[in-house]
């Protein structure tokens, strides 16, 4: 089949429809003997939750702000936090908020590990669960997300009342703006268009008589995730759409 075409050119484009994998939250750089790495804590929290009989999504009641299924790390946190004192809980909550704001939490986590009887595994449960819970809550606009609904969802998880009040102070209190901005920035992002090439082709000889001598635009789009997509657009169809 013989074709003739014009010269390729480059241009911008819209985001593609394939979502890039969400980035894992980072809390600190290294565990050490008495501390833990919070990035590893998130992964360890999920793995440890699986050891308790849960997968990536737990089996608890869903339908609230956490989605149809409660994340496994949140379920593990809700169970473990019942054996934690309020002072320790607030220290862990402060570390989690700092992590949401992109701050280095290594020293804070080290101090908690050295001053409590919590194991590294328990700390992993608690921090990863708090991180996921707050991250999801801070993504919701206050215009539609009400404090009463948030409290009821936490009660369903059997989180102690005093701790629910502390969670509410983060989600609906003075600390929300800084935490909210970082949580929104950490949302899953679609890959962007890095390169777009196109050319106009006219089929002189084709097996389909309906397409003979009809111009079409051949396009190749390269995305920031390394994938490439090729597709063809009928020029006649574009003209008809513009004139109707």
pLDDT digits (tens, 9 = 90+) for 53-85: 333 444 455 558 888 888 889 999 999 998 899
Q: What is the pLDDT of residue 192?
A: 82
Short-list 141, 140, 85, 145, CA closest to 115: 85
8 pLDDT above the threshold of 90: no
Round to whole Å and give the CA distance between 38 and 99. Answer: 9
| pTM assigned to the model | 0.54
Torsion-angle region of residue 175: left (phi > 0), alpha (psi -120 to 50) or beta? alpha
Q: If you average pLDDT over residues 37-56, what whole number do you get? A: 44
Helix (H) or strand (E) holding 233: strand 228-234
User: What confidence category does residue 177 fall into, taking pLDDT thresholds of 50, 70 and 90?
Assistant: low
Task: Identify the pLDDT of residue 90.
Answer: 93
CA distance 66 to 134: 10
Q: What is the mean pLDDT of residues 20-43?
A: 42
Coil, strand, or helix at residue 159? coil
> Alpha helices, DSSP H only, in the chain?
38-51, 72-80, 86-100, 106-115, 120-138, 147-156, 161-171, 176-185, 235-243
Q: How far apart are CA 201 and CA 167, in angstroms?
A: 60
95-130 pLDDT, tens digit each:
998 888 888 888 888 889 889 888 878 888 899 999
């Amino acid at each position: 089949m013989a074709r003739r075409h014009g010269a390729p050119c480059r241009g911008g484009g819209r985001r593609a429809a394939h979502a890039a994998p969400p980035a894992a939250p980072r809390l600190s750089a290294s565990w050490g003997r008495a501390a833990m790495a919070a990035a590893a804590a998130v992964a360890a929290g999920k793995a440890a939750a699986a050891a308790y009989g849960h997968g990536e999504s737990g089996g608890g009641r869903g339908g609230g702000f956490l989605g149809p299924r409660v994340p496994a790390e949140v379920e593990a946190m809700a169970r473990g936090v019942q054996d934690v004192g309020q002072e320790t809980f607030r220290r862990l909550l402060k570390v989690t908020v700092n992590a949401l704001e992109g701050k280095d939490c290594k020293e804070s986590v080290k101090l908690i590990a050295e001053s409590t009887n919590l194991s590294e595994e328990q700390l992993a449960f608690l921090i990863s669960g708090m991180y996921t819970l707050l991250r999801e809550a801070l993504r919701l606009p206050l215009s539609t997300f009400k404090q009463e609904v948030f409290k009821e969802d936490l009660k369903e998880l059997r989180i102690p009342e005093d701790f629910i009040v502390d969670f509410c102070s983060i989600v609906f209190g003075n600390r929300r703006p800084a935490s909210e901005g970082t949580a929104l920035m950490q949302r899953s992002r679609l890959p962007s268009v890095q390169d777009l090439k196109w050319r106009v082709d006219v089929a002189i000889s084709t097996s389909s008589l309906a397409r003979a001598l009809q111009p079409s635009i051949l396009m190749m789009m390269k995305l920031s995730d390394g994938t490439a997509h090729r597709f063809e657009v009928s020029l006649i169809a574009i003209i008809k759409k513009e004139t109707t």
